[in-house]
C-alpha cells in the first residue's frame, strides 16, 4: 500500500519573549516555544514521516537578529539532514520572506518564496506540494490566479496538496469563536480545487479541521490548521496546542486521497485570568488577595490580573511589575491591567477613564 506521511506544524513564533540581553530577570516564555518545536519534530527525527510542512510564522516577527534565525532553523536543518525534506510557507510574521534567509538555506529545506510546486518522490509514490507566500491583501480576488501560478496542473504526481498561510472561510479564532468569512483577505473555500487532497495551512492559531463550506456543504478535501505550538495570547487560553500527522494514499483514485489524520497535543502552559474588584481595598489587602489566588492555581501559570475600579495611590504600587513578580512564584508569569484606567504610552501616568 502506498502511504505518504506528512508532519504539519505552523505558527511556531520562535523568539517570542526571548530577549538576548534581558534587562530584568524573570521567567521567560521563549524556551517553551523552542521546547515544543523540538517535541513536534520528534516524529521527523525518528523517521516516522516522509516530509515536514511548516505552515508559516516560524518567527515571532519580521525584524529579528540573525542569531534567532540560526536558532530557529537549526532544528529544521537537523530534520533535513536526517533525510526528511522540509517545506515552508513564509508567513505574515516573515513579511512573506524569511529574514536573513541565507541562514535558512539547505538543500532539503524548500521555501515557497513565490508561487511554485515541489515534487517529493518516495518509495510509496510521488507527492506534489503547491504553495505560495502569505499575501496580505486581495487573496479572495487573486487566489485562483496564484494557485494557477504555482504550476501544480502541469506537474505529474500521485497526490497533490496545497500549502498556504492565509485565512479561509469558516476558520474560527478567539474565546467567542469569531468566524472568518467573505472578507478580501479570506480565501473563498469553494475556490480550493478538488485535485488537492488536503490544504495544509498556517496563520490561524487555533487547531481546526474545516470540512464544510459556509453553506454547510461538505468539502472535497479538508483544510487543516494545526494551530500555534504554544499560546501566543490570552485569546488562545482554552485551546489545545499541537501538530498534525496526515497519511495520504498514493493508490486508488488518480489524484490520491487523504487516508487519515491525527492531532498530537503538546504541553502548553495554563493561562489564567483573575478579576480583582479593588474598590475600597488598601495595598496590603490587595496583596493578600493576589497571594491567596495565586496559591490556588498551577504554579507555572501565565496570569493576567484584571483590576476593576479606582485605586488609591498607595494601593497602586502593588501593581508595578516588580511588586507583582515578588508576589508570585518564580515559575509564574504575571501582569496586571487596570481596566478603568488609561495608561499613556511612554508615560507612567495612569489616568482614570
| Residues at the contact surface with Mn ion, assessed by CB under 5 A | 11, 57
Residue 76 grid cell:
529544521
Q: Distance (Å, rounded) from C-alpha 136 to C-alpha 166?
A: 9
Q: Which is nearer to Mn ion, 229 or 286 (CB)?
A: 229
Q: Work out the angle between the directed axes of helices 30-45 and 66-81 (0-180°, nearest 10).
A: 20
Q: Which is nearer to Mn ion, 10 or 246 (CB)?
A: 10
Tell the smallest beta-carbon distance from residue 91 to Mn ion (Å): 6
Q: Which is nearer to Mn ion, 58 or 104 (CB)?
A: 58
Cβ-closest position to Mn ion: 57
How many CB atoms neighbour CB 320 within 10 A?
A: 12
**What size, in residues, is the chain?**
353
Q: Which is nearer to Mn ion, 57 or 236 (CB)?
A: 57
Q: Distance (Å, rounded) from C-alpha 197 to C-alpha 256?
A: 7
Q: Distance (Å, rounded) from C-alpha 332 to C-alpha 303?
A: 7
Tell the smallest beta-carbon distance from residue 222 to Mn ion (Å): 20
Listed residue (151, 171, 134) closest to 54, CA to CA: 134
Q: Which is nearer to Mn ion, 50 or 57 (CB)?
A: 57
Tell the smallest beta-carbon distance from residue 276 to Mn ion (Å): 31
Q: Which is nearer to Mn ion, 122 or 172 (CB)?
A: 172
Residue 260 grid cell:
487519515
Tell the smallest beta-carbon distance from residue 93 to Mn ion (Å): 6
Question: Alpha carbon of 49 to those of 9, 40, 86: distances in Å?
Answer: 13, 12, 11
Alpha helices in 103-156 (DSSP H): 139-149
Tell the smallest beta-carbon distance from residue 61 to Mn ion (Å): 10
3-state secondary structure 240-255: CEEEEEEEEECCCCCC
Q: Distance (Å, rounded) from C-alpha 20 to C-alpha 58?
A: 18
Listed residue (200, 210, 3, 229) closest to 112, CA to CA: 200
- The CA dihedral of 81, 88, 154, 157, to the nearest 10 degrees, is 50
Burial class (CB within 10 angstroms; exposed 0-12, middle 13-18, buried 19+) of 111: buried
Q: Which is nearer to Mn ion, 93 or 325 (CB)?
A: 93
Tell the smallest beta-carbon distance from residue 4 to Mn ion (Å): 26
- Residue carrying C-alpha cell 513578580: 325
Q: Which is nearer to Mn ion, 238 or 320 (CB)?
A: 238
Q: Which is nearer to Mn ion, 202 or 256 (CB)?
A: 202
Tell the smallest beta-carbon distance from residue 33 to Mn ion (Å): 12
Tell the smallest beta-carbon distance from residue 10 to Mn ion (Å): 7
3-state secondary structure 25-42: CCCCCHHHHHHHHHHHHH
Tell the smallest beta-carbon distance from residue 87 to Mn ion (Å): 17
Residue 350 grid cell:
495612569
Amino acid at each position: 500500500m502506498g502511504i505518504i506521511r506528512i508532519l504539519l506544524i505552523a505558527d511556531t513564533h520562535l523568539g517570542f519573549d526571548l530577549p538576548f540581553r534581558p534587562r530584568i530577570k524573570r521567567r521567560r516564555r521563549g524556551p517553551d516555544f523552542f521546547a515544543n518545536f523540538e517535541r513536534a519534530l520528534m516524529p521527523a527525527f525518528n523517521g516516522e514521516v516522509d516530509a515536514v510542512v511548516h505552515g508559516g510564522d516560524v518567527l515571532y516577527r519580521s525584524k529579528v537578529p540573525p542569531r534567532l534565525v540560526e536558532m530557529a532553523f537549526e532544528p529544521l536543518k537537523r530534520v533535513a539532514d536526517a533525510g526528511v525534506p522540509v517545506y515552508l510557507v513564509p508567513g505574515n510574521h516573515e513579511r512573506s520572506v524569511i529574514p536573513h534567509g541565507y541562514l535558512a538555506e539547505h538543500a532539503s529545506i524548500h521555501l515557497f518564496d513565490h508561487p511554485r510546486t515541489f515534487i517529493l518522490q518516495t518509495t510509496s509514490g510521488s507527492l506534489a506540494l503547491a504553495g505560495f507566500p502569505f499575501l496580505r491583501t486581495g487573496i479572495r480576488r487573486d487566489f485562483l490566479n496564484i494557485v494557477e501560478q504555482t504550476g501544480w496542473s502541469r506537474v505529474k504526481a500521485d497526490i497533490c496538496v496545497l500549502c498556504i498561510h492565509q485565512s479561509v472561510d469558516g476558520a474560527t479564532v478567539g474565546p467567542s469563536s469569531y468566524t472568518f468569512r467573505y472578507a478580501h483577505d479570506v480565501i473563498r473555500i469553494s475556490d480550493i480545487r478538488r485535485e488537492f487532497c488536503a490544504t495544509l495551512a498556517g496563520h490561524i492559531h487555533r487547531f481546526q479541521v474545516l470540512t464544510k463550506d459556509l453553506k454547510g456543504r461538505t468539502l472535497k478535501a479538508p483544510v487543516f490548521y494545526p494551530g500555534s505550538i504554544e499560546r501566543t495570547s490570552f485569546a488562545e487560553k482554552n485551546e489545545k496546542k499541537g501538530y498534525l500527522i496526515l497519511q495520504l494514499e498514493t493508490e486508488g483514485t488518480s489524484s490520491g486521497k487523504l487516508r487519515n489524520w491525527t492531532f498530537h497535543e503538546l504541553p502548553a502552559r495554563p493561562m489564567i485570568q483573575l478579576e480583582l474588584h479593588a474598590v475600597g481595598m488598601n495595598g496590603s489587602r490587595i496583596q493578600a488577595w493576589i497571594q491567596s489566588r495565586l496559591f490556588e492555581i498551577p504554579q507555572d501559570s501565565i496570569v493576567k490580573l484584571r483590576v476593576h475600579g479606582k485605586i488609591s495611590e498607595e494601593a497602586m504600587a502593588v501593581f508595578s511589575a516588580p511588586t507583582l513578580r515578588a508576589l508570585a512564584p518564580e515559575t509564574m508569569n504575571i501582569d496586571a491591567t487596570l481596566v478603568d484606567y488609561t495608561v499613556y504610552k511612554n508615560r507612567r501616568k495612569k489616568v482614570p477613564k
